[in-house]
């Protein structure tokens, strides 16, 4: 089972969070967004087809108000900083995604940025 499927199952069990679309790669995600997706985008910074930072920029260019949460294996602060510069509203480490993603979604829905606890100085 892919991490996407596992996270989808985790999110389905969380009250008030509904998974309305999913994509296996950045190009498919961009198509869904261009078609009018409403909600919060959760993107793997290492997604296939497109560079994660460039994908965030493209999303924000097309839909500036659409919140984006990044999931990454990278705990390097540069990736987090670049993600936020590109327009991300949240940054979650993959190793903490099961614990952090529901809270990140709630925070971003309340218009508060979110950073995985392991990255907070």
For the chain, give every domain's residue range: 3-119
Vertex 63 angle, CA 57 and 64, to 5°: 70
**Which segments of the chain have a pLDDT < 70?**
1, 48-49, 121
What is the reported pLDDT for 113? 96
Alpha carbons 19 and 51: distance in angstroms, whole number: 24
What is the reported pLDDT for 114? 96
3-state secondary structure of 41: strand
pTM value?
0.89
For 3-119, the fitting CATH number among 2.60.40.10, 1.10.10.60, 3.40.50.2300, 3.40.47.10 is: 3.40.50.2300
92 pairs with which residues across the strands? 71
What is the reported pLDDT for 121? 64
Nearest-Å Rg of the Cα atoms of the chain is 13
What is the reported pLDDT for 87? 97
Residue whose tokens read 């190009």: 27
């Amino acid at each position: 089972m892919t991490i996407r499927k596992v996270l989808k199952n985790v999110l389905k069990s969380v009250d008030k969070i509904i998974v309305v679309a999913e994509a296996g790669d950045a190009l498919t995600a961009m198509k869904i967004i261009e078609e009018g997706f409403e909600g919060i985008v959760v993107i793997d910074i290492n997604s296939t087809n497109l560079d994660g930072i460039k994908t965030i920029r493209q999303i924000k260019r097309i839909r500036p108000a659409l919140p984006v949460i990044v999931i990454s294996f990278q705990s390097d602060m540069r990736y987090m900083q670049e993600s936020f510069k590109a327009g991300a509203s949240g940054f979650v480490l993959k190793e903490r995604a099961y614990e952090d993603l529901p809270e990140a979604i709630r925070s971003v829905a309340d218009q508060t940025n979110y950073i995985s606890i392991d990255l907070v100085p």
